[in-house]
Amino acid sequence: MARLLLADLSKLSARAPELRQLLLRWWQTHGRHSIPWKLLSDHRRPEPREQLDPYPIWVAEVMLQQTQLQVVLPYWLRWMEAFPKLAALAAAEEHDVLLLWQGLGYYARARRLLAGARQMQTQIEAAWPQDQASWLALPGIGRSTAGSILSSAFNQPFAILDGNVKRVLARLMACERPPARELKLFWALSEALLDPERPRDFNQALMDLGATVCTPRHPRCEQCPWQVHCAAYAAGDPAAYPVTDAPRELPFQVIGVGVVRNDAGQVLIDQRLNEGLLGGLWEFPGGKQEPGEPIEATITRELQEELAIEAQVGEELITLEHAYSHKRLRFVVHLCRWISGEPQPLASQQVRWVEPTELGDYPFPAANARIIAALLERLQAESSAAAA
């Protein structure tokens, strides 16, 4: 760390007792106190010596990676109904886990959570681990997630550094570099501020401050307990922090997709390999359009290369666009009629003919929900026309 940053850290450490007191006093009145996994079974907030069940906290913390609380809450409630204990999750089938996760995105989190549950189930006997190393050894658990689990469940003094906390600290210090470039400093800041007597409450208060007051856009500085200590507020432009690198343009691809039906009216789907963001999910077959290639030729080629089948590409069903964090995609979807060839999983885990009404029993990426809806609407229209 540069000398100036070390000086800032020293100043912050000196002010830490006052900042802790101000934040916790604000949180007592304005904090989010009804988060279900942060409460005891009788819906009370735990006292410092009381422990919480780490399993529901672990599930929630993994879901909260890259996802906001209001989105996570209904998923978490459904998850806890299906897998209320560690043993239930460890014994679950990946298919069921992914189906329950469907729509939440970043599906690798679900696969890692399942793998971590099986790993933890073989390790613990009577007690859950309360050391950071044991949690970091689990797939999908980083330093901040481990710190949040340990502080929330056991009131252990471990700092956190999620997106909300980075934003609050960047503004508090008016840091002139993106937090991603100063992680060592930001971890030091979070650790210096952490209340060693009330780490559970302090970490939650810090996250609540970022989520409800020190928001990405239009921060409510007049409601902030740290306003008089905030260097970004003193500079007159809190929303200018955190400093970010110039955004890079996302690559754009056109994907040809074939909804292939056989003579019995069944639809062909395949399961992605267990790798990448969407690993393990089911999808309609297809692939990237090559330069100058008609989309019908793309679909024909992909069906041959990935499934070893011949199909007649028919009319367009739907075109839709979907943005991921690393690329933008346009899906051009055509109805296809299977002609010949036994479908083979040449680029996937398995392939399956299913009834259109059974598609809801399989976990699909979010973009496929509109394809399924369009297909069912088309089939309903065909059925109505035939009956007329």
| pLDDT one-digit tens code per residue, 58-86 | 999 999 998 999 999 999 999 999 999 99
E strand or H helix at 344:
none
Average pLDDT over residues 98-126: 91
pLDDT digits over 273-284, tens only?
988 878 899 999
170-179, 216-225, 322-331: segment of lowest average pLDDT: 322-331
Question: What was the pLDDT predicted at 245?
Answer: 84
Q: What type of residue is 384?
A: S
| Residue 3: pLDDT over 60 | no
Binning pLDDT at 50, 70 and 90, where does residue 5 land?
Answer: low
The band of 6, judged by pLDDT with boundaries at 50, 70 and 90, is low
Rounded Cα gap, residues 193 and 206, in angstroms: 10
pLDDT at 106: 87
Tokens of 206: 């810090």
HSE of 53 in the Cβ direction (CA atoms, 13 Å)?
15
Enter the tokens of residue 69. Answer: 């609380």
Read off the pLDDT band of 123 (50, 70, 90). Answer: confident
Prediction pTM value: 0.86
Q: How far is CA 34 from the centre of its chain?
A: 22
- Contacts of 127 by beta carbon, 8 Å cutoff, 6+ apart: none
DSSP at 278: T
Q: Is the pLDDT of residue 175 over 60?
A: yes
The answer to whether 32 and 212 have CB atoms below 8 angstroms apart is yes
What is the pLDDT at residue 275?
Answer: 85
What whole-number distance in Å separates Cα of residue 152 and Cα of residue 334? Answer: 49
> What is the pairing mode between strands 282-283 and 267-271?
antiparallel
Average pLDDT across the chain, whole number: 93
- Is cis: bond before 46, omega within 30 of 0? no
- As a whole number of Å, the end-to-end CA separation of the chain is 76
| Mean local confidence (pLDDT), 109-133 | 92
Q: Domains in the chain, start-ordered, CATH in brackets?
A: 3-240 (1.10.340.30), 252-387 (3.90.79.10)
- Where in the sequence numbering do the catalytic residues fall? 61
Does 1 have pLDDT greater than 50?
A: no
